Amino acid sequence: MIYFDNGATSYPKPRNTYIAAAEAVKNYGFNSGRGGYVESVRTAEKIYSVRERLGALFNFQPQNIAFTANCTAALNMAIKGSVKKGDHVIISSLEHNAVWRVVNHLKKDGVIDYDIAKFSYDDDETVNNFESLIGKRTSLIVCMAASNVFGVAFPIDKIGETAKKHGIRFIADGAQAAGVMPLDAEKDNIDILCAPGHKCLYGIMGTGFIAVREGVHLETILDGGTGSESLNPDQPDFLPDRLEAGTLNNIGIAALGAGIDFINSVGMENIYERELGHAQMLYDGLSENKNAVLYCKRPEKYKNAPIISFNLGDNQSEKTAALLAKRGIAVRAGLHCAPLAHSHFGTLERGTVRLCPSVFTTRRECEFLLNTLKKI
Amino acid sequence: MIYFDNGATSYPKPRNTYIAAAEAVKNYGFNSGRGGYVESVRTAEKIYSVRERLGALFNFQPQNIAFTANCTAALNMAIKGSVKKGDHVIISSLEHNAVWRVVNHLKKDGVIDYDIAKFSYDDDETVNNFESLIGKRTSLIVCMAASNVFGVAFPIDKIGETAKKHGIRFIADGAQAAGVMPLDAEKDNIDILCAPGHKCLYGIMGTGFIAVREGVHLETILDGGTGSESLNPDQPDFLPDRLEAGTLNNIGIAALGAGIDFINSVGMENIYERELGHAQMLYDGLSENKNAVLYCKRPEKYKNAPIISFNLGDNQSEKTAALLAKRGIAVRAGLHCAPLAHSHFGTLERGTVRLCPSVFTTRRECEFLLNTLKKI
């Protein structure tokens, strides 16, 4: 298989991710923070070390990083935990359903109303599109770092700055950026960062996290045992316990730690440049293919995550993906759970074929894909 | 290590659980239901096969079983998804914080009020304790199959029957029973069953499920991408998609499948009888130890999950656990995230030391523990 679906889940994983997962099943399958025996304590230390690595990567306090089942769970906790009745929320015009369905649910329940700020290639215009929607009731801005469909990146730092200026909470969705493009709580004024472990961070499925800036309070949507303050009828008010009810996915967390170590050893910028190089190669190759339809500008450093969307001729995107699948090439087609983004770029009707290289993708694989696309 | 903390997470796992987890990291780390390539389709088939196995074990439709991060997430989804403003809820006097904190949060928010039905060794009295609390606004009964602290089992079938008679929804928490004691949606009139994958089902951490009887509607607390009906601003109204937002823990789910296969190959009743035999041996041994304090009757078939709680002399439970840990014996002490249960049995002040054997526990390990307890 030639794999270009890294935007869904990265594959393969670094060798140490596999090793860490297998080790963790045997050595860290104990409930941390709930037992006093040595294996439980060692497990707690292992998990804390992954909080530390995530904290260092994104500039959050380690204890303010709570592990979740996936990025979607983190976004639900961040958004639903932030708003109160009567609040106004602003999201971008490219948001994933992990944000759109959440704000829509809150709106349907009469809790909030929301507006959609348009993405623009001009960063100042994008920021202005957000700022012009801010009203007296606006309490929250939610924006992805980069589109999961088209790869275009948002000026997260400037949006964060604008939110801060207006005293508005800012949630960044790092689904396609965390691990490959720089995200920094302080520099980017991110109040809450949500991200998956199994994409650019090279962990395995079943992990995500919510990172919360010191002093940012969240109501909880998942309550339960935390191994702490058991007599308290409410969730403890300290992190990470407040946001971690029930048994954690220790195996996934340990594997995520290995994924982060891999990123640190190769260097995030090196990974990004390699992946971006592939994305540019794919873009250039598709530009030369008269049958290919592209929707965005050529990917550029810090303006794009390494993701390309295209279509072939008049084909429905699923048809092109099926033709590629027959030839052993794995891509994803359709709406990618992001109808807003397709609405923005005018691809709602047939969706797009999405190409996401990872650090393990080779130029030969890109060539093979481009040549295959010329023939079908 | 001699491990008696299987009530937190079972350890070790059956050999095939380890193998399935390692295989899944390599072969099933693809997003199911979102890609058309063969690896994605195979992953979807694998996941469906685990739904089928769970469905067969607990008598639910396979597609009505949604995977969750843990049992706590499932209980939050079940309880919060079931109630509306003004509802009255009944829970048992032994509930875990995964239920108590949830209903408490709902009460604090002014959504529901709730009452607590007392456990009794007399099943009819227990049922009567529930039934006598039913009022016009009562819409939901939540009850554990067995106590995570004291092992005592509830007459789930009779509570289910009572709920049905009154047209009330019934949620069973199978945390300490699912996989070892029989639970059946139809026979026991369970509307929603919540359970973890990493305890009696011999899967790994990071998995749980919510099983929903046909026709039972749930509001969602986690919204997001499902790979289906992407244009729909709401969660799809069909299962399992409605309750599965974001990427699943495929690795955990595949390992859970192997855990269920293990149970089926050994036979659930055989496993139960073996574990219950160990629990009885521990109980009898502790009864002969003049320094040991027991709180419940001797465990009996179908009246108890294989869990024993005790204390030693005037020790705080944590002190006894620490002394055992020094001798290589892993137990858990304290409140076990279940203050209600300790309040019921009068152990709130010092908690209890909990002993949970698994199918892999040996009589020699039980003997070693009992002998060790005589010496400390």
Q: Is the peptide bond before B240 cis (omega within 30 degrees of 0)?
A: yes
Q: Check whether B175 has a pLDDT greater than 80.
A: yes
Q: How many residues does chain A have?
A: 376
Q: What is the pLDDT of residues B201-241, one digit of tens each?
A: 999 999 999 999 999 999 999 999 999 999 999 999 999 99
Q: Check whether A220 has a pLDDT greater than 90.
A: yes
- Secondary structure (3-state) at B13: coil
d(CA B298, CA B305): 11
Tokens 């109980």 belong to: B283
- Residue A100: the pLDDT is 98
A-B contacts at Cβ under 8 angstroms: 310
Beta bridge partners of A90: A115, A141
Average pLDDT of A274-303? 98
- Residue A36: the pLDDT is 82
- The minimum CA-CA distance between A267 and chain B, rounded to whole Å, is 24
Chain A residues touching residue B31 (CB < 8 angstroms): 5, 8-9, 332
- The minimum CA-CA distance between A32 and chain B, rounded to whole Å, is 10
Return the closest-CA partner of residue B153 out of B259, B276, B292, B3.
B276
Q: Check whether B146 has a pLDDT greater than 90.
A: yes
- The minimum CA-CA distance between A240 and chain B, rounded to whole Å, is 16
Beta bridge partners of B92: B117
The ipTM assigned to this model is: 0.97
**Residue in A26, A72, A204 nearest the CB of B224:** A72
Q: What is the pLDDT of residues A47-71, one digit of tens each?
A: 999 999 999 999 999 999 999 999 9
Confidence tier at B170 by pLDDT (50, 70, 90) = very high
In eight-state DSSP terms, residue A360 is T
Average pLDDT of B37-48? 95
Instruction: Kindly give, in sequence order, each residue whose CB lies less than 8 Å from that of residue A271, ignoring residues fewer than 6 positions away.
Output: A179, A180, A263, A359
Chain B residues touching residue A352 (CB < 8 angstroms): none
- The minimum CA-CA distance between B262 and chain A, rounded to whole Å, is 17
- Residue B32: the pLDDT is 84
Beta strands, E only, chain B: 2-3, 65-68, 87-92, 112-117, 138-144, 169-173, 192-196, 208-212, 292-294, 308-312, 329-330, 332-334, 352-355
d(CA B90, CA B167): 14
Inspect the interface and report whether the beta carbons of B206 and A73 lie closer than 8 Å. Answer: no
Q: What is the pLDDT of residues B78-136, one digit of tens each?
A: 999 999 999 999 999 999 999 999 999 999 999 999 999 999 999 999 999 999 999 99
Residue B211 in contact with residue B185, Cβ under 8 Å? Answer: yes
Chain B residue with Cα closest to A221: B221
Pick the residue of B247, B250, B343 with the most A CBs within 10 A to test the interface with A by mutation: B247
Torsion over CA: B72, B77, B78, B79 (sign):
positive
- Residue A317: the pLDDT is 97
Radius of gyration of chain B (CA): 21
- How would you class B85 by CB atoms within 10 Å of its CB: exposed for 0-12, middle for 13-18, buried for 19 or more? exposed
In eight-state DSSP terms, residue B178 is B
- Residue B81: the pLDDT is 98
Cα angle for residues B253, B258, B260 (degrees, 5° grid): 90
- The minimum CA-CA distance between B36 and chain A, rounded to whole Å, is 6
Return the closest-CA partner of residue B10 out of A230, A21, A31.
A31
Alpha helices in chain A (DSSP H): 15-27, 38-58, 71-80, 97-108, 123-131, 156-165, 250-266, 268-288, 317-326, 339-345, 363-375
- Residue A215: the pLDDT is 96
- Residue A168: the pLDDT is 98
Return the closest-CA partner of residue A74 out of A60, A88, A93, A56.
A60
Chain A residue with Cα closest to B321: A36
Confidence tier at B33 by pLDDT (50, 70, 90) = confident
Q: Check whether B26 has a pLDDT greater than 90.
A: yes
- Residue A32: the pLDDT is 84
Amino acid at the residue A13: K
Inspect the interface and report whether the beta carbons of A100 and B18 lie closer than 8 Å. Answer: no
Inspect the interface and report whether the beta carbons of B206 and A69 lie closer than 8 Å. Answer: yes
